[in-house]
Copies of this chain bind each other. A is one copy, B any other.
Amino acid sequence: MPIVTFMPDERSVEVADGENLLRAALLADIVVHASCGGAGTCGKCLMVIEGGEVTALPSPRLTAEQAERGYVLGCKTTVHGDVTVRIPEESRPGQAPAAKGGTRRAVNPVLSRQERVARLPRHTSPPPVAKRLVRMMPPDATDNINDASRVKLGLKRGHGIRDATISLPALRELPTVAREGNWVVTAVAAEPCDTMPCVSGFQPGDTTDRQFAVAVDIGTTTVEVAVVDLNTGRIVGQQADYNAQSRLGDDVISRIVASTKPGGLDQLRDLVVSSVSTLTVAALEQAKADAEDVVCYYVAGNTVMTHLFLGITPENIRSGPYVPVASAFPWMRANEIGLPGGRTTRLYAMPCPASWLGGDVVAGVTAAGIPWSEKLTLFIDIGTNGEIVLGNSEWLVSASCSAGPTFEGGGVLHGMRAADGAIEQVRVDANTLEPSFLTIGASKPKGICGSGLIDCVSELFLCGAIDRSGKFDMDIESPYVRRGEHGPEYVIVTGSSTAHGRDIVLTETDVDALMRAKAAIYAGINVLIESLDANIDDIDEVVIAGGFGRYLDLERIMALGMVPELPTNRFIFLGNSSLLGASLVSTSREVLRTARRTAEMMTYLELSVNAGFMDNYISALFFPHTDYTQFPRTEALRSERTRAKAVK
C-alpha cells in the first residue's frame, strides 16, 4: 500500500491505493483546513506535491497562481504510490484558540464576576448535583432501621431532600462505607428538577471539601470547559481548543452530512468526546482536582452539536421539515458518554428549544440574567449562526439567522479562523487608504479573521472607499485598491510581508459576504422587535454574547449596520455566555430550574418562512441600511471622514 509522508511534520501513513490526501492527512492526525468537509468546494485544503505519483483533479477553487505554484486540493488528489506532500501554513488552522485570559487582545471588556453576579437573583439553592454530608446515629437495639433509611432520614433532616432513591451500586457500598466512616458519610446526591432525588454513591466521612462540576461549551468551532469548585462557585480551571470534529467539516451542515456516512455519527461523537475529555483532564490538573471528585458535567451546545455529542443523529435537522430528535435530554452518566469521572459522575445537557436554537443560547440567556430581568433585553450571539433572543422575565422571542461562515473566515478569499497569524484588527488611513493592522500572536500574517474583516470593511466604508452597496470606488487612485484576479480588491498586505509569500487582499465578494451576514442578523433583530410591536429604541439593554463578541469593535459593527445604533452604555459584553451559563446552573438548582423554564418559554420564529424577514433582509443589504436615518451617528462619522478627505 502507498505510504504518504507529510512535510514539514515528517509524519508518514500507509493508505489504500486511490486514497485522497485529505483523508490521508487526517489518518496521520494532521489537522488541515477543510471548510466543506472534503467536498472540494471550499478550496482550503491546499497541499503541494513534493514527490511521487498522484492524480489531481482540476478545481475552480484553485487560482491560476496557486496551480502554477504546484498547489493541489488534498480532497481532490488521490495517491497511486509513495508520495511526499507538503502542507503549507495557510492550510493549517493554527494554534489552539486562546483560553480565558489568553494572548488575544479583547476589544470589549466583558463583565466582571461581580457585575455578572449582580445580574442574577440572590439564591441559596444548592447545586443540582452535589456531595451531601450525612451524619447518622449508629443503629442499636432500640433503633435498628436499615442503613438506607438512615441515610434517607439524614438527607431529609440535614438537607431537606425527600424521597431520595439510592442506586444499586450505592446500596452495595453503603454498609461498608457507613461503618468505615463511623456513621458519617458523604453522599453524592442529585436533586434534579425533573425527576426524583437520587444518591449515586457514598464516601466514608466528610469529603464535601472536594467537589467540582465541569461546565462544557461545545461550539461548532471551539470547545471550552471550565472546572467549577462547587464549594465556592468559582471557576478554578479553564481550557479551550478547536472542536476535533472540524477535520470533518467547518460548519454544522458539513457535520450533519458527515454524520450520515457509514460510521460517521460514531466518528463525530468520538471526536468531540475526545476534545471534551482532553480539555477536562487539563482543566482538572489546573484546578488540582481529581476526576473522581467531579459530580456532574453540564454541557451546552447548539442543537446539532448536542445531538452529535450524545450520539443522536442530527440528520433530520437538515432536510424538511427540519426536526431535531429531542429538545430535552435525560440525566446521564459521564461514563455512558465516555468522559473522565467516577462511577457517580453525572452529565446534563442543556435543553435545545429548536433546530437552530440550542442549549448554548439557553445557557447564555440565563447567564445574562434575562429570566430575572424586567428590562427589555436583546441577546445576540454572533457566530456562524447568529442567535438572537429578545425579551425579559415575562416572555422571550428568539430567532436564528444564518450568517454563514463569514465570521469564522469561511467564504472569504483570505479568510481564516481567529488563530495565530490572523489579521484581527485593521485601521485604514482616510486619505491614503494605507492599512495598518494587528495579527493574533503578532505573527506574520496568514489571512484575515472575522473581526479583522469587520474592521477592514467598516474602515473602508467610513472612508468612502466602499459605497453603501459594498462596491469599491474604483475612481480612487490608491496602490491599495486595484483590480485583481477576482475583480476589484483592497490589498491589506503584500506577499513580501506574509507568512506564505502571497498578498492578502479583500475582494468585493468578501465584502458582499459580510454584507449578507450582517444583514441577516439585523433583519432577524428587526423581525423580533416587530413581532412585539416594539421599536428599536425600546430596547433597554443589548447583550453581546460569544467569545467572538469580545473582539468586535462596537462602533464598527454599528457602522456596518449589524446591530442597532443605540447608546453604547446599553451594550454589555458577556464573553462565552454559554460556558458561563453552564457553570452557573452547576452551582444552583434554582438557576437550572430557571434555565429549563426559559428553554420552554422561548418562542422561536423560523425566519426562513417569516413573511417580514425577506423585506428586512433586503433593506439591510446596504451599509449601514437602506434607511440610513436609523444610523445617524454612522452617517455623521462617514460625512466627517469623507469631508476630511475632500477638504484635503
Binding site for B on A (CB under 8 A): 139-141, 143-149, 163, 165-168, 171-172, 174-176, 194-196, 198, 310-313, 315-316, 320-332, 336, 355, 606, 609
Contact = CB atoms under 8 A, between A and B. Distances in A.
B174 A325 contact: yes
Contacts of A327: 145-146, 148-149
Given A195-B196, A196-B194, A146 B320 contact: no
A147 B323 CA distance: 7
Given A175-B325, A323-B139, A330 B147 contact: no
A171 B312 contact: yes
Contacts of A332: 168
Contacts of A194: 163, 165, 196
A171 B475 CA distance: 60
A232 to B, nearest CB: 31
Contacts of A316: 147, 175
Given A141-B609, A168-B311, 17 more contacts: A139-B323, A140-B321, A143-B321, A144-B321, A145-B327, A146-B327, A165-B330, A168-B312, A171-B310, A171-B326, A172-B312, A172-B313, A174-B325, A175-B315, A175-B316, A176-B313, A196-B196
Contact of A146 (B166, B168, B311, B326): B326
A127 to B, nearest CB: 20
A395 to B, nearest CB: 19
Contacts of A171: 310, 312, 325-326, 329-330
A195 B194 CA distance: 10
Contact of A139 (B139, B168, B321, B326): B321
Contacts of A312: 168, 171-172, 175
Contacts of A609: 141
Contacts of A195: 165, 195-196
Nearest to A606: B144
Contacts of A320: 141
A325 B148 contact: yes
A434 to B, nearest CB: 52
Nearest to A168: B332
A491 to B, nearest CB: 47
Copies held by the complex: 2
A141 B321 contact: yes
A165 B330 CA distance: 6
A552 to B, nearest CB: 33
Nearest to A349: B168
A324 B175 CA distance: 9
Contacts of A310: 168, 171-172
13 contacts: A140-B321, A144-B321, A146-B326, A146-B327, A147-B325, A149-B327, A165-B194, A168-B336, A171-B310, A171-B325, A171-B329, A172-B313, A175-B325
Nearest to A144: B321
Given A166-B330, A167-B330, A144 B175 contact: no
A315 B147 CA distance: 12
Contact of A175 (B143, B313, B606): B313
Of the candidates A148, A166, A176, A310, the one having the most CB atoms from chain B within 10 angstroms of its own CB is: A148
A194 B166 CA distance: 12
A311 B172 contact: yes
Closest 9 CB pairs of A and B: A148-B326, A144-B321, A195-B196, A146-B324, A165-B330, A139-B321, A139-B323, A147-B325, A175-B325
A296 to B, nearest CB: 15
Of the candidates A144, A166, A168, A172, the one having the most CB atoms from chain B within 10 angstroms of its own CB is: A168
A326 B166 contact: yes
B196 A144 contact: no
Nearest to A197: B195
A155 to B, nearest CB: 14
Nearest to A347: B168
A578 to B, nearest CB: 20
A328 B166 CA distance: 9
A278 to B, nearest CB: 22
A444 to B, nearest CB: 47
A320 B609 CA distance: 73
A146 B325 contact: yes
A198 B196 CA distance: 12
A352 to B, nearest CB: 9
Contacts of A139: 321, 323
A329 to B, nearest CB: 7
Contacts of A175: 312-313, 315-316, 325
A141 B320 CA distance: 7
Contact of A148 (B141, B166, B328): B328
Contacts of A606: 144
Contacts of A144: 321-323, 355, 606
Contacts of A172: 310-313
Contacts of A321: 139-141, 143-144
A332 B165 CA distance: 11
A324 B326 CA distance: 42
A309 to B, nearest CB: 11
Contacts of A329: 168, 171
A190 to B, nearest CB: 12
A324 B146 CA distance: 5
Contacts of A324: 146-147
Contacts of A174: 325-326
A328 B324 CA distance: 38
A426 to B, nearest CB: 42
A145 B315 CA distance: 15
A25 B379 CA distance: 75
Contacts of A326: 146-149, 166, 171, 174
Nearest to A317: B146
A315 B176 CA distance: 10
A198 B144 CA distance: 34
